[in-house]
A and B are shown apart, each in its own frame.
Chain A
Amino acid sequence: MPVSQKKNINRAISGWLIMLPTLILFAFYVWEPLLKIIQMSLYNAQGFTLTEFVGLDNYKSLLANPDFTIAWKNTFMYTFWSLIIGFCVPILLALLITETPVFRSLTRVAVYFPNILPGLAVMLIWLFFFKPGNAGVLNNILATVGIKPLTWLSAKGWTIPLIVVTMTWRSAGSTALIYMAGISGINPEQVEAATIDGAGIIRRIFSVILPSLTGLVKVMLILQIISVFQILYEPLMMTNGGPNNASISIMMLVYNYAFLHFDFPKAAAVSVMICIVLSLFTALYFVVSGRRGKE
């Protein structure tokens, strides 16, 4: 065997050895549960113990669930509103902070602060704001300008957007930090050259900074879609999916099957469907970004 080939084999072995712990962890914590869930979705079960192979019956009976269609629709609405309300906010925050010469560290900590609060605590705080009647913080503020109390989360059309606002408030800071890191990675000479050529702040942002962030923005977009698609505890805590299912999400359906009814096979079936949809999103992302790359 030639020396170079031997070297390659040795390098491959050491490479696999380095990866081995990660592969084991992945296999144990990700792949095995994933396969188990697919298996469970095809069986009847008592608790977690599989009892009888039923093929696609669990999937069929999901269609009989009156909440199934609306939960999917709402989940897409959460994703839609999170892109409308929440996608640009972190970019704006990152731009504002990096372009502001004073109090930069303080502002950075301030925007990140909501992220260190426990999620449930944040929801409870917002519930105080959205409380109906005269007890709610927002209604009290409105009362000072003579506006009658509103029902906030109980107003059907507003429920999802308001929940998305609370999610954005909590998580925009951490996403902004990622964008800030991206901005700091832009070659300063490029920015300086643009400034010398007479580009103002707006021109710099649109002609230099944002184009340099395109790759990062695409990654964050797909991550946000995947993350919002799995929204659970915000509607669970704030509205319990109401009013009249206006805010029930597909993950709430999984929760309801698993923990309210202990029907784990059906919970697994919904999870598999979510997994397929998210895989499709990811594949779409790769196709689109691949095409763009070729262009």
Chain B
Amino acid sequence: MKKLICLLLALTMVLGATTIVTAAEADEKIQLTLGNYPPDTDEAMIAAFDVYIENFSKKRPDVEVVPAHYFYALDTIVPMAEAGTLPVIIEPWYTEPQKLIEAGYVRSITELLKERGWDEMINPSIRDLLSKDGEIYGIPRDAYALGMHVNVDLFEQAGLVDENGVPMYPKTWDELVTVGTQIKDATGSAALCLLAQDNAGGWHWSNIAWGFGATLSVDNGDGTFTANLDSPEAIDAMEYIRDLKWEHDLLTADPLTENWGTGFTQVAVGNAAMYIGANDALNQTTVVNGLPLEDFALIPVPAGPGGQYSLNGGTVYMFAANATDEQVDAALDFMISMGRAPEVGAELIEGMGADAKSRMENGEPVVKRFPAWVGQAYSDAEAAIIAPFLNVDMALYQDYFDKVAEAGNLRLEEQGLTQEMYAELTKVMQEVLTNENADIPALMKTADTNYQKLLDDAGIGQ
């Protein structure tokens, strides 16, 4: 009996030891928590992620991938970052990187990028967005350039489509008044959905102002900036939107209730014919708000007397401050599996293919993405990969892609305290759009003074 008990005890110990060893082995695996994993409701994208994870796990069996969907939000990022519970990969929107870097909630990945040579391959405009003091803190997910989302059906009702059904859209801001008036008369819908509820108003307006020749924040080249919101060109651009509202009545009922999200809805439901929107949000008008693909077009931002520009920015991936080098390295490998890395190879091609297939199955326009990574090989590979999944008439998009490819067309956001500047501009827009007799030069002067004070207070004013 004693022997039996001894044997049982010995067996238990061996089993226990084995379990401990197995657990230890499991513990040794690098944990890669994916904040960019899609939400439960996005089945098509989850299927695509299954492919990514399967491919990745073959290459990196030492890594355990943990789906940890995290929707970036202002009220959750702070407690999670402070408590050290952020997933390794997070996907903040474009306004956030500098704040996250400043607060110490994300980590530098410069050395890891240099080892791979990726630091030189990031689209420079996005690299600036992700850098501070020479350190790079993230990689691009997508780049975008502002254009205009168009409801083709409204153009058609106003007789403004050519024989191929392509809208005869306004090439200049002056033409927008003519075309918009025709649309308004024929359909009763607004020509343009202009935003004025929050900082996105100032963001979109700055693209209009560039067309009038304005530069809103002068870079002095020594790390300081000077406010320039009250230049004659900026005043002209503000007067233009005043006229759109009060003289021509071409805007939606109340721009002060319009924000980034409602703009897509207004175009999709036919309340507005045009809305300043980018190529990375095509799904918003089509999938989210239900505009059929054949009724949707993407056109360039109209030109003004000062030229034609498209605001260029990007959406990004960043990495939690407490992520280890091994975890970030695994995350960068995972980007290859997702087709979001600059290294053109079989895995990247498969990842890009899965992404394009998922977008097609989702019913969103599959057109080429804006280059977040530089390099012809990458662009060529992408063009070839998405070709079988193209689901739209490219004539409805071609002018946009041609225009943003022109030299000098792309323009980065104004530098300095960009969000604060947008806030000041949005206030002026709100006054102009609610008060027909608003004194625009005086308002712009006040905005300029306020913005300069903020720059001075931050120690970057001059």
Contact = CB atoms under 8 A, between A and B. Distances in A.
Given A244-B428, A244-B431, A262-B103, A133 B252 contact: yes
Given A156-B434, A259-B78, A47 B254 contact: no
Interface stretch (B133-141, B383-391, B452-460): B452-460
B19 interface: no
Contacts of A239: 256
Contacts of B433: 154, 243
Contacts of B434: 151, 154-156, 243-244
Contacts of B196: 242
Given A132-B254, A244-B427, A261 B99 contact: yes
Contacts of A66: 424, 446, 450, 453-454
Chain A interface residue count: which class? 20 to 34
Interface in B140-197: 196-197
B50 interface: no
A19 B426 CA distance: 52
Given A240-B197, A244-B431, A262-B78, A64 B254 contact: no
A267 to B, nearest CB: 11
Contacts of A4: none
Nearest to A258: B78
A149 interface: yes
A49 interface: yes
A61 B252 CA distance: 38
Nearest to A130: B257
B453 to A, nearest CB: 5
Given A46-B103, A260-B419, A262-B102, A243 B256 contact: yes
A287 interface: no
A147 B434 CA distance: 19
B257 A154 contact: yes
Contacts of A243: 256, 430-431, 433-434
A8 interface: no
Contacts of B256: 151, 153-154, 239, 242-243
Of the candidates A66, A135, A245, the one having the most CB atoms from chain B within 10 angstroms of its own CB is A66
Contacts of B257: 131-132, 153-154
A271 B419 CA distance: 23
Contacts of A242: 196-197, 256, 426-427, 430
Nearest to A60: B457
A47 B431 contact: no
Interface in B238-269: 252-254, 256-257
A53 interface: no
For the residues of A in contact with B, the DSSP-based class is loop
Nearest to B82: A48
Interface string A46-63: 111100000000000100
Interface in B88-110: 99-100, 102-105
Contacts of A5: none
Interface string B423-451: 01011101101110000000000100010
B198 interface: yes
A187 interface: no
Interface in A256-288: 258-262
A64 B457 contact: yes
Nearest to B95: A260
Contacts of A61: 457
A259 B74 contact: yes
Contacts of A132: 253-254, 257
B59 to A, nearest CB: 35
A245 B427 contact: yes
A289 interface: no
B81 interface: yes
A242 B196 CA distance: 9
A65 interface: yes
Contacts of B252: 133
Nearest to B453: A64
A262 B454 contact: no
Contacts of A262: 78, 99-100, 102-103
Interface string A109-146: 00000000000000000000001111100000000000
Contacts of B105: 47
B75 interface: yes
B79 to A, nearest CB: 10
A240 B198 contact: yes
A46 B254 contact: no
A78 to B, nearest CB: 19
A149 B257 CA distance: 15
A74 B181 CA distance: 39
A261 B105 CA distance: 13
A123 to B, nearest CB: 13
Max chain A Cβ within 10 angstroms of own Cβ: one of B82, B103, B424, B446: B103
A290 to B, nearest CB: 41
Nearest to A152: B254
A149 B430 contact: no
B424 to A, nearest CB: 7
B253 A133 contact: yes
Contacts of B430: 154, 242-244
A208 B76 CA distance: 52
Nearest to A151: B254
A149 B253 contact: yes
A245 to B, nearest CB: 6
A258 B99 CA distance: 11
Contacts of B426: 242
A65 B428 CA distance: 16
B197 A49 contact: no
A131 B110 CA distance: 48
Given A133-B253, A156-B434, A240-B197, A46 B104 contact: yes
Contacts of A155: 434
Interface string A220-261: 000000000000000000011011110000000000001111
A20 to B, nearest CB: 29
5 contacts: A149-B253, A242-B430, A258-B78, A261-B99, A262-B78
Top 3 A-B residue pairs of the complex, sorted by shortest distance between their CB atoms? A133-B253, A132-B254, A66-B450
Given A64-B454, A65-B454, A66-B450, 4 more contacts: A66-B424, A131-B253, A243-B434, A261-B99
